[in-house]
Every structure is written in structure tokens, then in C-alpha cells.
Chains A and B, each alone.
Chain A
Amino acid sequence: MDKLKENKIVEDLFPQKFGKQGTIWVISLSIICAIGLFAYGRQLYYGLEVTAMRDYVSWGIYISNFVFFVAISLVGSLITAVLRLTDVKWSTPLTRIAEIIAVSAITFASLIIIVDMGRPERFYNLFLHGRLQSPIIWDVIVITTYFIISLLLLYFPLLPDLKILIAFKERNGKWLQKLYVFLGSFWKNKPEQFKITDKAINILAIAIIPVAFSIHTVTSWLFATTYRPGWDSTNFGAYFISGAFLVGAGGVVVAMYVFRQHYKLEKYITEDHFDRMGKVLVMLALLYLYFNVNEFLVPAFKMKKSEEEHLLGLFTGEFAPIFWFAIFTAMFIPIFILLFKKGRRPLPAFIAGILVVVGSWFKRFLIVTPTLLHPFLPMHDVPANYHHYFPTWEEWAIAGGSLAGALLVITFFARIFPIIPIHETIIETESLENEKHF
């Protein structure tokens, strides 16, 4: 490939400074984070009493946010590992987007869990006195493992790109240049180096699949290992994982669109990519719908006494508006949009992606709170406000702050590193050209 073409690719994919839109975006997210931090300060001082959680609803939107984050982070394994191992080529420009979403989401999952603790300063007890039989300890182990593997899967493919970035010393400015040199100056594009990283990436891509399945299965077991109606389900592992792949894929479609529009990447994230991701998304939505049918229709057929109140509360009772909103926005409407070729164009796919993400957040809320409001024994001998749950402003601020923080991490990553792998794009464009010649 001639140098001109190569330079064009580098120029297109080089990380760009924040323009006006970017600055407004970063400042808004930072304000939300700051409010969240202030609210957390109040929570540390007064205790979890500043939330609306009480003895019955002892887990609220912090936990549903945690589940949401763990779910979204599975996309890293889906795009990077599953699609890569099945030798799918079209997903290459999406791998880094998927991995940074994964790393950012799993980081904030860990942070929001610490926020939910009544005694965060005793976090070290988990390591000093950790009991291996507790599902929480399993979660700590698999999440840490997933974080490390995802970080490596972000770093290794980044190395050839770092070499390209380092070459533009003037453009980078002092601090970014120092960062690039620190991270990747040892990389010389030597074949031996590629051999090592290629092998490492392959091994990690294989290893991440069982770990990814583990993180969301174990997270589902935080609920499924209890007796409560709505949680006492053998279906939970598969149900959660299918939901996780769905919301992760939705997240990637949203990110694809935003980066494409903002950084003018139409040549790299093409309409074909939206078509294919749209197909992936609709398949995953149908799969999740299948698991939802199993999860709700089967117990509803039996209407066991302990589950009756819970199910009716979801279908026709106080949670019905949220329940049907979630079902429609996370599944029915996106499926309807994406089944048609016109719906798999960038803008409709982006809308479908947003609906999936929003609907999925509410779905996670429905997994956590309604069950807690339908205990086996009647809610009695408690203050009146224990019978209901609506998050306080502190909870919204902290949950919003965690979401804003995750978006900030992704934003800053795209500012510092090329969001589409430069080196891999060059290699692939080259091989495509060579194919044409033969």
C-alpha cells in the first residue's frame, strides 16, 4: 500500500482534540460526577440513611446499577473475543470501542459496589477474612480476573498504534507524548514482538470467554442463591448473560454512531457495520425475549402463592408501567426496528441501541427492587416509609455520577488513544487490496 494511503488512514484515525461539542460534553459529565461525589460525601457522613433503602428494600439502584455495569462490560468479550475467534473481519474497527466500554464499565461496577457498602473502610475484610463459600467472593475473584484480561486485551493491540502516535511528537504535546513513550516505546514492530502479542491476544481472547460468562453468571447468583420469589430461579444465569450481551451490543451501536459522527469516521465505521451489528442486536434481543418468556410466563402459569404477589405486581400492579416500558424499549421496539433493512441504517440503529440501553437499565431495576417488596412474611412492625422505595436525590446523583464517570473514562480514552485500531486497519486495508489484485 502506498505511503499516501497509509498516511490518510493515520490522519483519519489519529486522536483529535476536543472541539466545542467535546468540551461541553466533558464539562457536563464532570459536573454530574462532582454532584455525585458531593452526594457520596453526605452518604459517608450520615450513613446509608440518605438513600431510600430501608430494611425491606435493602438493595436499591446502586445494586441495579452494579448489575447494569457488569452486563454492559460483557460486550468486550463478545466483540473482541467471540467475533475475533470466529475470524470475523468486519468487527475489527469495533474491538477497541468494545474493550474500553468493557474496562470502564467493570471499573465502575466495582466502584458502585463499594459505594453500596455500609462500611466501605472495612473493604480489606473481604481479603483478610474472605470466605470462599460466599457468592460475593466469587464475584470479586471473577470480576478482578475479567478486569485484568480486558485491560490486557486493550493494551496489547494498542502497542503498534502507540508506535505510530509516538512518531508525531509535536502534535501530541508534552504530557501525551510522555504517556505514549511510557506505555509503548519498547515496541519496534519487530516480527518477534508481533509473534508474542498475537499469541497472547489469542490466548486471552479464548480465556476471556469463560471468565465473561462467569462474571455475569456469578452476579446473577447474588440473587438466585436466595429463596425470594422472583430470584429463586434456575434460569437466572442464562437469563442474565443473554441480557448482558444484548445491552453490551446496544452500547456498542450507540458508541459506534457517536464516534462515527463526531470524528467523521464514515469510511471506517461504514453503513455495512451498522447493518451487521443491527443483525447481531436483533438476534440478541430475540434471544433475551426467549429467556424473558421462560422467566415470567412459566411461574405465571403456576402462580405459586409466594410468587403471585410479585408477578401480579410486575404485570398489572405498581411496577407494571416500568415493566412494560422496559419490555417494549429493550426488546419489542428494537426488534421491530432492526428486523428491516431500512432499520439497520446508522440513525435508526442508533435509536434502537439507545432504547436497548435505557430499557435494560429499567429491567435491572425490576430485577432488584420488586422482589424485596414481596417478602415471605408480611411487612409489619416497621415505619411506614419501609413499605415503598423511590430513590432519593443522593442516590440518583451517585448513580448518575457513576454512569457519567464511565462515559468520561470512555471519552478521555478516545481523546488519548485512537478509538479505531490504526495498525490493524492498515493491515486489513492492505490485505483487501492484495485480494483485489489476485
Chain B
Amino acid sequence: MKTNQNSRRDFLATSLVAGAALAGCATKNPFTAEEIPDVKPSGEMVKLLSVDGEIIEVDKAFLKPVPELPSVMNTEAREGITGKKFVMVIDLSRCKSVKKCQTACNHMHHIHPGQNWIKVYPMQEAEHTAPYWQPTTCMHCDEPPCVKVCPVDATFKRKDGIVLIDSDRCVGCRFCMAACPYSTRVFNWEEPKIEKEISDKPYSCETSVPQKKGTVGKCDFCPDMVRQGNLPHCVSACPNGVFMFGDILEDTVTNGAETFRFSDLIKDKAGYRLMEDLGTKPSVYYLPPVNRNFPFENKADVEEPKKG
């Protein structure tokens, strides 16, 4: 399979341009080159990568931080991003159960301590088959059993394939938790233990922050990151490149360092989905643990690798 060496440059370049555009477009016409009158050059120079891939030096005083984008409105959050259908590929041959994915997800979503939206299961289908680690996110199914049973449309499937939860509408009946065969949903049994600044933030379905007492939570494929052209936190956090995220319509997935053609990847490496026979049509594909990078070591002796 081919890797695209320019992908990282494209990412950085795009975000720089986006940042500069945002920084500049607050009050001014972005298409005219104007002097910024009030800012005096500080003398301190910063090395940056230009759009053309050249190293340039810019005075630090001319740089403005990218403002945090406000969350989208609830109606738009329910619709989704046009023209995309997100998909994730998890390469089981690379997973060592480092659990940086779990740590990053828990941290960035300010999840109640003890709960995890990503679970890394020790799996072994049968007595003679290989044990392996299986990081499991929400499958964002195309036939989501959770969405089918929600009585108040608090969990819904968007046109970009992402299944989200609206914690402002959820009544806490937990039918979705009973319906999900992947055991991916967690419930806020008490007031989530998070700092006041986080709990005071305005809630958005796309950030899923702050989590609310008496409602359900789960992996959301980080739509707030994706809207900005970034990857979900688990994808960026994994040091072994296990998670790959992308767009099935573009037929591309990437783990930040490598990019693959999704259909080729699945075909070449015999990708599969969990519990295919249930008909849920998950959006998460797994690459089997063949030619493993690390041997399987389960440090928890009490925990036997369980069947799938």
C-alpha cells in the first residue's frame, strides 16, 4: 500500500491557513493585504512552515492564536457534516494495550473517574486461537440498535454516520444501554467529578462536554475535532498507530503518520467488523492480529483472556 508523505504537511498547512484566516477575518476583508498598524515587531523570530513547504521566519508579534471555535448549534450538531461518512480502522496487530487512547479520551472529554469510553479488551475466541488486545470504541453503526429504541430522540444518527447523544434531552431510561450489544455506553450515575470550569462550559453534542448526571455517554468520534480538520483524540494519542480514522466516501483513513486507501486496506488485510451477524453495520473495522508488532502480555493475572 502507498503512503502519502505530504499528508502531514497538508494537515499543518491547512490548519495554519485556517488559523491565519480566522485570525484575520474577525473584522477585516481577508482578501486585502493590510498592515497591522498597532503591532510593533518584537524582534523575536519564530520559524514556521509555509504553505509551499518552505521554512520561513515570522516575527512573533504578528502571530495571533487561533480562537477556539464556538460549538455549532444543536440543530446543526444533529445534522452532521455534509459530504462525509466517517469510518475507523483499528489494526489489532499493532496494539500493545498501552491505553494512551483511553487516557486521552477520558482526559479530553472529562469523563467521570473509573469510566471509559474506550475499552481495551483481552480477547481470545477459542482455546487454540491467538489472544490479542482489542480497543473498542462506539461502532457508530449504520443500523444502530440504540437509536432504534431511544424514546425521545436523544441519541441519533447523523448524515456523516456519527451517532451522538444529546445530554440535554436524554431522560436516562437506559434502554440504549440495554440495546447496545457492544457494551459501549456508560451512564452518569452521579454528578461527574470534573472541575468547575469544565462543568460550567456550555454543553454541545459534538464535544460531549460536560457530561451530565442521569444521562448516557459514549464515544462520539470527536466531531468537534473533525470539524476543525483534526483527528479524534484516541487516533492522535496512540503511539503505535493502531487507530486509523477517515472518510469512506473519500476512501481514505489515516493515523496521523500514515494514510491508506480504505478499501485496499480492508481487502489486503482481511478487515472485518465486530458481531457482523447481528446486522448492526458498524463503522469500525478491525484488521486481524497477524504479524504482530508485540507479543500478547496480560499483566493482570486474575484476568483471563475471554472469548469474543
Contacts from A to B (Cβ < 8 Å): 46-49, 51, 53-56, 58-59, 116-120, 122-123, 125-126, 129-131, 133-137, 140, 222-223, 225-228, 305, 372, 375-383
Instruction: Name the 9 nearest CB pairs between A and B, nearest first.
Output: A118-B172, A118-B214, A49-B190, A378-B306, A136-B151, A49-B189, A381-B119, A134-B151, A125-B152
Interface residue B88 (Cβ < 8 Å from any Cβ of A): no
Roughly how many angstroms separate A131 CA and B172 CA in the complex, as a whole number? 15
Residues of A with C-beta under 8 A to B308: 377
Q: Give the nearest-CB partner of B277 in chain A.
A: A227
Q: Known contacts A47-B214, A48-B214, A134-B150; can you find 13 more A-B pairs with CB under 8 A?
A: A46-B190, A47-B213, A49-B189, A55-B183, A58-B178, A59-B174, A122-B171, A131-B150, A134-B149, A134-B151, A135-B149, A136-B149, A136-B173
Residues of B with C-beta under 8 A to A225: 148-149, 179
Name 30 A/B residue pairs within 8 A (Cβ), A-sorted.
A47-B213, A47-B214, A54-B189, A55-B177, A55-B183, A55-B186, A58-B174, A118-B173, A118-B213, A118-B216, A125-B171, A126-B152, A126-B171, A130-B151, A134-B148, A136-B173, A223-B178, A225-B149, A226-B149, A226-B179, A227-B179, A228-B178, A376-B181, A378-B123, A380-B119, A380-B120, A380-B306, A381-B119, A381-B121, A382-B115
Also in contact, A376 and B173, with CB within 8 A (given A129-B153, A225-B149): no
Also in contact, A227 and B149, with CB within 8 A (given A47-B213, A47-B214): no
Most A CB contacts (10 A, CB to CB) among B171, B174, B308 go to B171
B201-222 to A contact mask, C-beta < 8 Å, 1/0: 0000000000001111000000
Residues of B with C-beta under 8 A to A380: 119-122, 303, 306
One of B102, B215, B307 near A118 (C-beta < 8 A) = B215
Roughly how many angstroms separate A110 CA and B177 CA in the complex, as a whole number? 21
B267-308 to A contact mask, C-beta < 8 Å, 1/0: 000000001001000000000000000000000000100111
Most B CB contacts (10 A, CB to CB) among A54, A134, A223 go to A134
Also in contact, A131 and B306, with CB within 8 A (given A48-B189, A119-B214): no
Q: Give the nearest-CB partner of B134 in chain A.
A: A377
Roughly how many angstroms separate A49 CA and B308 CA in the complex, as a whole number? 30
Interface residue B15 (Cβ < 8 Å from any Cβ of A): no
Residues of B with C-beta under 8 A to A140: 151
Also in contact, A137 and B174, with CB within 8 A (given A47-B188, A226-B145, A226-B179): no
Also in contact, A118 and B170, with CB within 8 A (given A48-B214, A227-B145, A381-B119): yes
Roughly how many angstroms separate A134 CA and B155 CA in the complex, as a whole number? 12
One of A47, A133, A375 near B183 (C-beta < 8 A) = A375
Residues of B with C-beta under 8 A to A305: 307
Roughly how many angstroms separate A379 CA and B304 CA in the complex, as a whole number? 11
Most B CB contacts (10 A, CB to CB) among A117, A140, A223 go to A117
Interface residue B136 (Cβ < 8 Å from any Cβ of A): yes
Q: How far is the CB of B162 from chain A (nearest CB, A)?
A: 19
Also in contact, A129 and B169, with CB within 8 A (given A55-B115, A56-B183): yes
Interface residue B191 (Cβ < 8 Å from any Cβ of A): yes
Most B CB contacts (10 A, CB to CB) among A136, A377, A381 go to A377
Q: How far is the CB of B116 from chain A (nearest CB, A)?
A: 5
Contact A133 B187 (CB under 8 A): no
B149-166 residues with Cβ-Cβ distance < 8 A to A are: 149-154
Residues of A with C-beta under 8 A to B120: 380-381
Q: How far is the CB of A343 from chain B (nearest CB, A)?
A: 40
Q: How far is the CB of A313 from chain B (nearest CB, A)?
A: 15
Interface residue B83 (Cβ < 8 Å from any Cβ of A): no
Interface residue B62 (Cβ < 8 Å from any Cβ of A): no
Interface residue B70 (Cβ < 8 Å from any Cβ of A): no
Most B CB contacts (10 A, CB to CB) among A48, A227, A372 go to A227
Q: How far is the CB of B165 from chain A (nearest CB, A)?
A: 12
Residues of A with C-beta under 8 A to B153: 129, 131
Roughly how many angstroms separate A371 CA and B189 CA in the complex, as a whole number? 20
Roughly how many angstroms separate A123 CA and B173 CA in the complex, as a whole number? 10
Roughly how many angstroms separate A317 CA and B91 CA in the complex, as a whole number? 37
B106-137 residues with Cβ-Cβ distance < 8 A to A are: 114-116, 119-123, 136
Residues of B with C-beta under 8 A to A137: 151
Roughly how many angstroms separate A117 CA and B119 CA in the complex, as a whole number? 26
Contact B171 A53 (CB under 8 A): no
Contact A119 B172 (CB under 8 A): yes
Residues of B with C-beta under 8 A to A117: 171-173, 214
Residues of A with C-beta under 8 A to B215: 118-119
Contact A227 B278 (CB under 8 A): yes
Contact B175 A136 (CB under 8 A): yes
Q: How far is the CB of B212 from chain A (nearest CB, A)?
A: 8
Interface residue B11 (Cβ < 8 Å from any Cβ of A): no
One of B119, B170, B172, B183 near A376 (C-beta < 8 A) = B183
Roughly how many angstroms separate A58 CA and B149 CA in the complex, as a whole number? 15
Residues of A with C-beta under 8 A to B173: 116-118, 136
Contact B148 A133 (CB under 8 A): yes
Roughly how many angstroms separate A51 CA and B190 CA in the complex, as a whole number? 10
Q: Give the nearest-CB partner of B186 in chain A.
A: A55
Residues of B with C-beta under 8 A to A59: 174, 178
Contact B149 A378 (CB under 8 A): no
Q: How far is the CB of B104 from chain A (nearest CB, A)?
A: 15
Roughly how many angstroms separate A222 CA and B172 CA in the complex, as a whole number? 15
Residues of B with C-beta under 8 A to A48: 172, 187, 189-190, 214
Residues of B with C-beta under 8 A to A53: 189
Contact B145 A378 (CB under 8 A): no
Contact B149 A130 (CB under 8 A): no
Contact A126 B151 (CB under 8 A): yes
Q: How far is the CB of A46 from chain B (nearest CB, A)?
A: 6
Residues of B with C-beta under 8 A to A120: 171
Residues of A with C-beta under 8 A to B174: 58-59, 118
One of B182, B190, B213 near A377 (C-beta < 8 A) = B182
Roughly how many angstroms separate A125 CA and B171 CA in the complex, as a whole number? 8
Roughly how many angstroms separate A388 CA and B285 CA in the complex, as a whole number? 31
Q: How far is the CB of B117 from chain A (nearest CB, A)?
A: 10
